[in-house]
Amino acid sequence: MTAPTLEACTPWPGELRDAGRHRLFVREHGTGEPAVLVHGLGGSSTNWTDTMGLLGDRLASLAPDLPGHGRSPASANGRYRLATHVDAVIALIVSSARGPVHLVGNSLGGATATLVAARRPDLIRSLVLISPAFPQLDPRRARDLQMLPLLLPGAARLADRVMDRVSVADRVRGVLELCYADPSRITPERMAEAVEDGRLHAEDDWASRAFIGSARGLIGSYLLPGKRSLWSAARTVRAPVLLVWGAQDRLVPVAVAPKVHAAFGQAAGGARLEVFPDAGHVTMMELPEQFATLARSFLDEPRA
């Protein structure tokens, strides 16, 4: 069967669904083996528009908006710790009766997917992780220092005041330009999707709390010791793992990739690392066809 072309990809339809104690907006597309695609911090299910289209003949994909992100309402208990997102993804897989699934995650979604796979190996066929947000805080790096104010009380109110001075379109473009190695690859269609998501998000009074809470939860997970850490979770994963990194990633530097690969390499399913020299933080958005080709080859590998 000929794989779908990029031109065929449009924002896929979605609806609000109950997932345990969570209420999630979930987009659905494709036929084949079940998959769940988890976006990163501040992102949404539209981050997977191209991936869902290009792999639509291979995967029956669900792409949720994490609690408080995209079109999903606020978390039921007002918390946005990493555990909140892990619970939401597990509940979605269980409630959809689709497990085991191919679980795909980017950045925060990659960290979430790792913990899902470690906690519920029975629900996972494989992991595909794009620049997963593993602990690598370094006080010598300017970006990491810029994250520290997120831990301060009142950070959400301050973020609201700052964001009110910037238009949604400018805000979205700034984020995408940070995530892409080459901003000229941002297509008008994907920009329009992101702006619409940003506009809807700006109308929600919980948006800043969800973003700040998720960022704090992610940073907090970096401080967990020993067996509670992401590194330990990666070593226990049973499913095969594909790690994808952009060499130009300014948010989760490729320098951490070999360490992440080594951790997953100790897992039962083994791990494969692929680095795209001219991609940034969101390889699946910046180089969708190349990413889809790689993912397809990984999915088609014979499994024991």
β-sheet bridge partners, residue 271 = 241
Identify which has the larger pLDDT, 202 or 130.
130
Q: Containing H/E element for 129?
A: strand 124-130
Q: Quote the pLDDT of residue 162.
A: 47
222 vs 102, higher pLDDT: 102
272: exposed, middle or buried (Cβ count in 10 Å: 0-12, 13-18, 19+): middle
pLDDT band at residue 304 under the 50/70/90 scheme: low
4 — pLDDT class (breaks 50, 70, 90): low
Distances (CA, A) of 67 to 134, 207, 240: 21, 10, 27
- What pLDDT is attached to residue 78? 84
Mean pLDDT within 84-98: 95
- Burial of residue 39, with CB atoms counted within 10 A of its CB: 0-12 exposed, 13-18 middle, 19 or more buried: buried
Three-class SS of residue 243?
Answer: strand
In a domain, 55, yes or no: yes
Phi, psi (rounded to 5 degrees) for 229 = -80, 165
| pLDDT value for 8 | 54
Q: Sorting pLDDT into bands at 50, 70 and 90, what band is 170?
A: confident
Give residue 225's pLDDT: 61
CB 124 within 8 A of CB 101: yes
Element (H, E) at 214: helix 207-222
> Confidence class of residue 110 from pLDDT cuts 50, 70 and 90?
very high
Average confidence (pLDDT) over 223-247: 87
Give the pLDDT score at 2. Answer: 52
Residue 304 lies in a domain: no
What is the mean predicted confidence (pLDDT) over 29-46? 95
Q: So what's the pLDDT on residue 164?
A: 55
Closest by Cα among 231, 252, 275 to 132? 252
Side by side, the strands of the sheet bearing 14-19 are: 14-19, 22-29, 59-64, 33-38, 101-106, 124-130, 241-246, 271-276
| Amino acid identity, position 200 | L
Q: Which range, of 21-30, 77-86, 279-288, averages the lowest pLDDT?
A: 77-86
What are the residues whose beta carbons fall under 8 Å from the beta carbon of 250, sequence distance 6 or more?
143, 178, 280, 281
| Average pLDDT across the chain, whole number | 86
Longest dimension (CA), the chain: 55
**Structural domain includes residue 250:** yes
pLDDT at 169: 86
Structural domain tally of the chain?
A: 1
Domain assignment present for residue 1? The answer is no
| pLDDT tens-digit map of 171-199 | 888 889 999 999 999 998 889 888 888 88
Q: Is residue 130 part of a domain?
A: yes
- Domain annotation covers residue 186: yes
CATH code, 116: 3.40.50.1820
Would 207 be classed as within a structural domain?
Answer: yes
Would you say residue 276 lies in a domain?
yes
Q: How confident is the model at residue 133 (pLDDT cuts 50, 70, 90)?
A: very high
CA 283/CA 289 separation, integer angstroms: 10
**Domain span including residue 216:** 6-299
What average pLDDT score do residues 281-302 get? 96
Q: pLDDT band for 156, please (50, 70, 90 cuts).
A: very low
Mean pLDDT of 111-121: 96
Mean pLDDT, residues 280-303: 95
pTM score: 0.88
